[in-house]
Structure 1
Amino acid sequence: MTDRSAVDTIRGYFYQFDLSILSVLKLASLDDSIEIECTEDIDIRTATDITATQCKYFAKTEYNHSVIKDAVKHMVSHFKESLTGTKPKVSYSIKGHYASGQEKLDCDIDVDFLKKHFLTFSEGKGTTKVTRYHHTELGLSDADLGEFLKRFTIDIRAKEFDEQYREILGAIQSIFKSTPFSAEYFYYNNALAVIRDLSIKVTPMDRTITKKEFLERINTSTILFNEWFVEKKGKKEHLAALRKEYFTEFNVSPHERFFLVEVQADSYMRSDLKDIFFELSKKWAKLSSREPSPFCPYIHVHGIPDDELLALKRELSAEGFKLIDGHDFQAADFSHQSITQQATHGNGIKIKILNTLSNVEQTLNWITKTRRIYQFHFGNSYFDYDKPAVKHVKIQVAQLSDVKSII
């Protein structure tokens, strides 16, 4: 597969996932549901009806009847089984986006049109060429095909990729009363993960979700590192958008900022973590003698062994990078009064290290000034501090270097 065709294929997958998301968002009742890749790509189930929808996205291809012929034949086969009672009675829908050729279907599809363009096909070549009639082989009469057409709708002028995406984000903003950023990076990101997860389940029951359950599952406070979302946005753009939203301030206010950073033993390098310490101090500390309210950030490193944290502190101190950790002398208990002492130009404190999550919580509880928590995690988040007065941003990352790119 060429790079261009691979990109087109990936966009086709995203288009189908997005149509699934849009379909569930548009359900009239919270109890209505969609089924992913059951009878067709998407089955929409309401209290009174089931609609099996197949999705086609060919942004660079001209529409021809042959492009959807197999899909129509499959639907007619299912219709035949519904007549015999072996399959449920459903409605059928095809949605497609094409570069051109839509005028070829600017007519009413009657039984003769259905048979000629969608149900008649050839096999073999030359003298062995045989014309076959799908409806005849299924034993369907013209009356039966007329009944099928009552259940069948087709839209080959479906929305373009970006247009459909904008419609999804608009629907999300309306439902959750969210900002454009939250609609995309929280709700849509989570929605994409939910649909992807459903699509790989084995049984139809496990690939079914109601609108109520869907909205509950995407309404989380964590920005997930969903590889499908990152693939769609591009990793560089993804990290840049997070930096712009949370870590770009023209005039940095003297808030108490807590950065919680996770490390993993199999990929940990001290130099990477040191770079984050230096970057945090450079950007989020103000220690000038002219600063009326000097300050510096707090940091907790989650998952780091005690001996490695101690070695890191020694190395930073030896390099003249002054830090405190709330322990005033050997074997002293942690003191929130000590850790919250003001960093100034005179004392040169560049960063405040919180050794444990308990230290983090104690310090947060002690401080009365404006507080901000920025938690970076690989798997599940590891710290909860749900107080309305404290902004708590949770960002899932793929590797430690992503943190530096974001902050």
Structure 2
Amino acid sequence: MSNRSATDTIKGYFYQFDYSIAKILNLPKDSDEIVVEGIEDIDINSSTDETAIQCKYYAKTEYNHSVISKPIRLMLDHFKSVKNGTTPKIKYQLYGHYKSGQSKLTLPISVNFLKENFLTYTSSKIKHEHHTKLGLSDADLQEFISSLKIDINAKEYQLQLTDIISSLSTTFSCDTFDAEYYFYNNALNEIRKIAIEDNISNRKISKRDFIDKINKKKVLFNKWFLELKGLKNYHKELKDQHFRTLNKSPFERFFIIELPIKHNLSEIKEIIQIISKHYSNLSKREPKTFCPYICFPNIKDSDLLLLKDELFKEEFNFIDGKPYSGSKFYTKAIKTEASYSNQLKIKIIKDITEVNELLPSISKTKQVFHFYFKNPLITISDTGIKNVNIQISDLNHIKEII
């Protein structure tokens, strides 16, 4: 599959997932539910009725009646089971976006139009009449039409996404960036997880539960999201939002970086050097000099010692909160101010315990930037601290973001 075809396929999945997100956010009551991949792509259960929705995105395809005839026949199969009394009555909806050809369909449709264009077809040179096969009368078909809504003028992909971002901005009282990179990304991840559940009961979620689940301010590394955004653009937008102007203010900045299982000393040293270069100011003319803190929570003691040895040999000045050999960690020691005279370039913290001990003792403006692979390693409960959690898949991505 070509890159363009792959992207089109991914966009089709995204469109359906996005539509699910949009429908959840627009549910009138918090207790109303949707089922992803239920009777149809999306089922909506409200206090008054249930609607099964087939959702498709054909941005490069002209509309023809044959494109939606099979989904309509499948809906009619379900309607037949309703008539037989084996299935509860529901509503049906076809929702799709097409490149062109929408004028071919005039709504509302008649029973004859339904039979001729959607229910009658040829297979292996044999003519089939689906309504006859099911034993449905014209009155039955009229009842089915009354329960069926067809919309082939669905929103274009980007327009639908823009509306979702706007809705999320309103729901969480946030700006567009936070709505997209945090809450939309979380929403997309949540819908994807629900869709692959085997048990249909696990593919059901209420508006209230969905909002609660996506209300997490952390940037997820979502492969499909990145496929559409592009990795370079994704990194650039994160940089512009959180890191572009950081070195202008003398804040106390903490960089907490989870290391992959396989890592090497040179990678870690390079990241330290980049962070120090971008977020330290030791100029003689600067009235308030500063340097950042850095913590690798899962680094081995032996690797941390090797790292410090390398930095010392290279005359890269650092402190670690341990003022003498065999000393325990002292917050007073690690809070030594960086200056032009001491050329202190980085403050190394061993683990999360030390970070949690240190943060409350600092009265200056604090910012925590946490890069992790699967789950965050630290929880910041103090709302006065800027806390940015970013999921990564490769340690080298940090260099592009910061």
Alignment TM-score, normalising by the size of structure 2: 0.98
Match of 1:314 among 273, 295, 309: 309
Q: Which residue of 1 aligns with 2:69?
A: 69
Per-residue displacement from partner, 1:287-311 (whole Å, max 9, x unpaired)? Answer: 0111101110000112110011010
1:132-151 to structure 2, matched below 5 A, reads 132-151=128-147
Shift, 1:355, TM fit: 1.2
Shift, 1:250, TM fit: 7.2
1:158-173 to structure 2, matched below 5 A, reads 158-173=154-169
Q: Could you tell which deviates more after superposition, 359-368 or 320-329?
A: 359-368
Alignment check: 8 A CA contact 1:43 1:51 kept: yes
Q: Could you tell which deviates more after superposition, 248-257 or 293-302?
A: 248-257
Shift, 1:335, TM fit: 1.4
Q: Could you tell which deviates more after superposition, 69-78 or 80-89?
A: 80-89
Q: Equivalents in 2 of 1:7, 1:249: separation in Å?
A: 33
CA 1:3–1:391: 2 relative to 1, 3 Å: closer
Are 2:398 and 1:403 aligned? yes
Per-residue displacement from partner, 1:83-118 (whole Å, max 9, x unpaired)? Answer: 112222110000111111000012430100000000
Q: Which residue of 1 aligns with 2:85?
A: 85
Q: Equivalents in 2 of 1:38, 1:147: separation in Å?
A: 22
Alignment check: 8 A CA contact 1:32 1:45 kept: yes
Q: Which residue of 2 aligns with 1:190?
A: 186
Q: Which residue of 2 aligns with 1:221?
A: 217
- Number of aligned pairs? 402
Amino acid of the residue matched to residue 71 of structure 2?
A
Shift, 1:226, TM fit: 2.0
Alignment check: 8 A CA contact 1:97 1:160 kept: yes
Q: Which residue of 2 aligns with 1:333?
A: 328
Are 2:356 and 1:361 aligned? yes
Shift, 1:7, TM fit: 2.2
Shift, 1:346, TM fit: 0.7
1:383-398 to structure 2, matched below 5 A, reads 383-398=378-393
Match of 1:291 among 286, 294, 303: 286
Amino acid of the residue matched to residue 290 of structure 1?
R
Q: Secondary structure at the match of 2:296?
A: strand
Q: Secondary structure at the match of 1:302?
A: coil
Q: Equivalents in 1 of 2:226, 2:36: separation in Å?
A: 22
Q: Could you tell which deviates more after superposition, 147-156 or 239-248?
A: 239-248
Q: Secondary structure at the match of 2:122?
A: strand
Q: Could you tell which deviates more after superposition, 369-378 or 220-229?
A: 220-229
Q: Which residue of 2 aligns with 1:18?
A: 18
Per-residue displacement from partner, 1:220-249 (whole Å, max 9, x unpaired)? Answer: 122111222222322221111111111011
Q: Secondary structure at the match of 2:284?
A: coil
Alignment check: 8 A CA contact 1:258 1:372 kept: yes
Amino acid of the residue matched to residue 272 of structure 1?
E
Amino acid of the residue matched to residue 3 of structure 1?
N
Structure 2 gaps of 5+ residues are none
Shift, 1:372, TM fit: 0.7
Alignment check: 8 A CA contact 1:36 1:207 kept: yes
Q: Equivalents in 2 of 1:260, 1:181: separation in Å?
A: 22
Q: Secondary structure at the match of 2:396?
A: helix
Per-residue displacement from partner, 1:124-169 (whole Å, max 9, x unpaired)? Answer: 2xxxx22110000000000000000010000000000000000101
Per-residue displacement from partner, 1:172-199 (whole Å, max 9, x unpaired)? Answer: 1111111101100111000000000010
CA 1:251–1:379: 2 relative to 1, 3 Å: closer
Q: Equivalents in 1 of 2:76, 2:132: separation in Å?
A: 11
Q: Could you tell which deviates more after superposition, 360-369 or 204-213?
A: 360-369
RMSD: 1.1
Alignment check: 8 A CA contact 1:193 1:228 kept: no
Q: Which residue of 1 aligns with 2:98?
A: 98
Q: Equivalents in 1 of 2:217, 2:253: separation in Å?
A: 18
Q: Which residue of 1 aligns with 2:298?
A: 303
CA 1:148–1:260: 2 relative to 1, 3 Å: same
Q: Equivalents in 2 of 1:231, 1:3: separation in Å?
A: 10
Q: Which residue of 2 aligns with 1:33?
A: 33
Alignment check: 8 A CA contact 1:192 1:228 kept: no
Provide runs of 4+ in structure 1 moved above 6 Å. none
Are 2:275 and 1:280 aligned? yes
Alignment TM-score, normalising by the size of structure 1: 0.97
Alignment check: 8 A CA contact 2:370 2:388 kept: yes
Q: Could you tell which deviates more after superposition, 384-393 or 324-333?
A: 384-393
Q: Equivalents in 2 of 1:56, 1:264: separation in Å?
A: 39
Structure 1 gaps of 5+ residues are none
Alignment check: 8 A CA contact 2:247 2:278 kept: no
Shift, 1:251, TM fit: 5.9
Percentage of pairs with the same residue: 45
CA 1:77–1:375: 2 relative to 1, 3 Å: same
Q: Equivalents in 1 of 2:273, 2:3: separation in Å?
A: 39
Q: Which residue of 1 aligns with 2:241?
A: 245
Q: Secondary structure at the match of 2:328?
A: coil
Q: Which residue of 2 aligns with 1:43?
A: 43
Q: Which residue of 2 aligns with 1:55?
A: 55
